[in-house]
Chain A
Amino acid sequence: MSEEWSDAVLAALSPRDIASYLKMRGWRHVADHGRVIAIFAHADQTEELRLPVTAKSPDFARRMHELVINLANSTETNPREILTDFTLAPFDVVRVRSPDADDYGSVRLEDGLDLHYEARNLVIAAANAAASPEPRKSWRGRRFDEVTDYRANVRLGQTEHGSFVLTVLSPWNYAPAGQSFSFSETFGRRVTKTLSSALAATEQAIRQSVSDGMAPFLEAVPLGVSANLCQALANLAREGGGADVSVSWSPSGPPQAPVTISLRREDAGTLTEAAKELGAQEPDVGVLIEGKITQIAEAAEQFSGDAVLEAPLGNLVRKIAVTFSPSERELVWQAGHDKSWVKIVGDLAREGRRLRLLNPRDISIIEPTEEE
């Protein structure tokens, strides 16, 4: 055998994904051999290919080696390209290319770390959009369980030559336990499809924003565009001197063109502004706020439910408008009268420069204590 590959690489190949790869390219499963070999034939080829179907075989790596060589011979392809396809078969691949690399394809360490961090943010933003039952303009704090599990399955691939290219490997067939049958696609594939639609929509929104301001970004929210995605792209464009971001599909599926967005450093400003606008319009859901009720001028029996909560947020004490339901008014009025601190859970939204707490719930008085 002329090619030398590590057994570990060959042993890690997925027979299931390679079978899909072969079928997508016209090979048919025509026979079996013993318990662990599936034989594939192609209408246009006289050769047969033998796919070991279980990694438990003691000669699994060797049979995979032969499969790579035989397929390369049959299709007149470089065996290394076949092995790369096989290796990536379980994944859709997100590539982030920084043109800011030197002739060796290296970047400054700090810039490289930022690229990795923002590539991760990009994928998480897409995963949140894929997981959410309804479009959201921004993702803060809480995360969907399937996103957390999916993140644990995303891998960082080898960097590739050509400027500086980092690869994020997204398992296309990842499906969390109990995935709803209402989805015809796996969660992993929904994430990369969402990312590709969001990238395309972002590129279009950047162009339209020249004349239409931030509105095109808001309109693109149903396609997966969010404040987080825009901010990640902005940082990539700024730190990398521009950036190319692409999504290419697992070789085990039907051949499809990759989706690519090319950002210039100048786009960073537009994207940052879009991120701010989108972030400002999305309430923080399920925020716990502690503060004092103020600005209740009416007597208890005339209290309309409109009040202001003064609460520390970050380094500032902010005034937050709240409208309480009739069942909560007595408690709230008393807390305001007694200047008691309260705990309230709600969805924090921005209305211009003001803050409003929507859907206030789980209201309770914080009893003072004299103990340390």
Chain B
Amino acid sequence: MPITTSDNDIKERLSIAFATAVAARAGCMLVEWPKDKQSLDVTLRPISGSSEIVELQLKATSQDVVSEAGVGVELPIKNYNDLRSEDAAAPRYLVALVLPDDATLWLAQDAEQLLLKRCAYWLDLRGMPPTINRKTISVTIPTSNIFDVQSLLGMFEIAEGMRRQRPESRDE
């Protein structure tokens, strides 16, 4: 029986593979939560050292969404509201993987390299305003926000900055 996985499912798996590869290079592991449990898909945590965590909502598209204005992403309202919430316990980001239109170009591999074409972009939606839209909302990610090892390390630095030590005397 042949494999009949849909292109959308393949794109989702490639977005997880992309995030896993960037996280691994940064010294982090990726925990994938059951689908649709909440609007976020994965948690990244250092394999050793810092106890901070960063969460990513992963999206993947092969449409032509990159323009001079940035990368346009259509988000379900639930995802948008969860991402913009300031009550989230862990900092989290939208990460959109943009793939070529031609599915045969998504992944290339030879003896020299494993090549995942195009790139992923990140956006911090925390504190964004509420919307009156009912189903989806368009957000635009600056093309300078490339999701790479450096940007991921920056996310962990921000997470580290959220920590406030308590004075000894305040503890019971």
Q: Which residue numbers of A lie inside 8 Å of B, CB to CB?
A: 1, 4, 7, 23, 28-37, 39, 47-48, 50, 52, 54, 56-63, 66
Contacts and interface: CB of A to CB of B under 8 A. Distances in A.
Which one of A1, A30, A32, A58 has the highest number of Cβ atoms from chain B below 10 Å of its Cβ? A58
Contacts of A35: 86-87
Given A30-B166, A59-B55, A1 B88 contact: no
A58 B165 contact: no
A30 B40 CA distance: 28
Contact of B162 (A4, A34, A58): A34
20 contacts: A29-B172, A31-B163, A32-B164, A33-B163, A35-B86, A35-B87, A36-B89, A37-B90, A39-B163, A48-B51, A57-B87, A57-B89, A58-B39, A58-B82, A58-B88, A59-B88, A59-B90, A60-B89, A62-B37, A63-B89
Decide if the interface of chain A is mainly helix, strand, loop or mixed: mixed
Interface string B86-100: 111111100000000
Nearest to A39: B163
Nearest to B40: A59
Contacts of A63: 89-90
Given A32-B166, A33-B163, A58 B43 contact: no
B38 interface: yes
Size class of the contact patch on chain B: 20 to 34
Interface of B: 31, 33-34, 37-40, 43, 51, 53, 55, 81-82, 85-92, 159, 162-166, 171-172
A33 B34 contact: no
B154 to A, nearest CB: 17
Nearest to A40: B171
Contact of A62 (B38, B86, B87, B162): B38
A35 B127 CA distance: 13
